[in-house]
């Protein structure tokens, strides 16, 4: 299978991290930045590193980016450059353009000019870290999206002696129980009529705020 090709515009902390991770994962990665030092620093880690101003249509066209699988616009502070390169990347026919926004207005503009996905890396990382802290354990929760997670939840005291059918957690607590750990053994097909025991650990999927509340009860 052909390697995926990505172009990353802007080598701030976000762009550098995305570019290096994609390259380490075996993708072809072209990076573009107008800061020569940054281009030198990353050159050994990516496929091509080009020093150019992304608002210069001619130099961008000369890069031949139209066949790339995706573009990452990682320029936060220079609004004009961020918007312009998003337009140029979409016009070049790149199917997936992900752009970093500084604020809501910036995000709106990026979406209007065709960005397929707009991200706020600092804000999103902050939310994820806070959720991990609230859940108390980095290893017993798997984030499925920014809103939903799957995690281990100690059965609440009042649940002991009642079956999943009686408790009706899906309707009452808005969580889905997909497994039960009892005595170190995982049952991924729990019987709806089996009464829960005091030390049961439930594997549940639900909204982060609901899981956090239950975890901290």
Residues interacting with ligand ATP, by CB under 6 A? 10-15, 33-35, 38, 53-55, 74-78, 81, 100
Instruction: Specify the residue, 9 or 159, whose C-beta has the smaller distance to ligand ATP.
Output: 9
Contact 28, 4 (CB under 8 A): yes
Task: Give the whole-angstrom CA distance, residue 46 versus residue 50.
Answer: 11
Residues forming a β-bridge with 48 = 30
Element (H, E) at 216: none
The smaller minimum CB distance to ligand ATP, of residues 5 and 33, is found at 33
Task: Give the angle subtended at the CA of 27 by the CAs of 21 and 32, to the nearest 5°.
Answer: 75
Residue 110 parent element (H or E): helix 104-112
Q: How far is the CB of 78 from ligand ATP (least distance, A)?
A: 4
Contacts with 215 (C-beta within 8 Å, 6 or more apart), sequence order: 134, 135, 136, 151, 153
Q: Which residue, chain included where needed, has tokens 């979406």? A: 111
**Residue (113 or 211) nearer to ligand ATP, CB:** 113
Q: Minimum CB separation from ligand ATP for residue 80, in Å?
A: 8
Please state the closest distance from residue 86 (CB atom) to ligand ATP, in A. 12
CB of 187 to ligand ATP, least distance (A): 45
Q: Which is nearer to ligand ATP, 35 or 66 (CB)?
A: 35
Of 129 and 160, the one with the shorter C-beta distance to ligand ATP is 129
CB of 46 to ligand ATP, least distance (A): 14
Closer by beta carbon to ligand ATP, 49 or else 164: 49
In sequence order, what DSSP letters do the residues of 11-57 get, joined into one string? Answer: -SHHHHHHHHHHHHTT-EEEEEES-HHHHHHHGGGSSEEEE--TT-H
Instruction: Give the residues across from 34 on adjacent strands.
Output: none
How near is the Cβ of 98 to ligand ATP at its closest, in Å? 13
Closest CA to 149 of 212, 207, 203, 216: 207
């Amino acid at each position: 299978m052909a390697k995926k090709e990505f172009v990353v515009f802007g080598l701030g902390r976000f762009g550098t991290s995305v570019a290096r991770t994609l390259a380490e994962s075996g993708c072809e990665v072209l990076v573009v930045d107008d800061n020569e030092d940054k281009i030198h620093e990353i050159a050994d880690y990516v496929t091509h590193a080009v020093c150019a101003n992304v608002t210069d249509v001619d130099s961008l066209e000369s890069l031949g980016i139209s066949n790339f699988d995706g573009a990452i616009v990682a320029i936060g502070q220079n609004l004009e450059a961020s918007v312009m390169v998003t337009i140029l990347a979409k016009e070049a026919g790149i199917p997936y353009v992900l752009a970093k926004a500084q604020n809501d207005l910036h995000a709106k503009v990026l979406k209007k000019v065709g960005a397929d996905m707009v991200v706020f890396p600092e804000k999103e990382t902050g939310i994820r870290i806070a959720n991990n802290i609230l859940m108390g354990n980095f290893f017993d929760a798997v984030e499925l999206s920014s809103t939903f997670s799957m995690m281990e939840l100690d059965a609440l005291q009042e649940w002991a002696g009642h079956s999943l059918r009686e408790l009706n957690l899906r309707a009452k607590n808005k969580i889905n129980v997909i497994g039960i750990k009892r005595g170190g053994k995982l049952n991924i097909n729990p019987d709806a009529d089996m009464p829960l025991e005091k030390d049961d650990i439930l594997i549940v999927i639900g909204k982060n705020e609901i899981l956090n509340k239950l975890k901290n009860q």
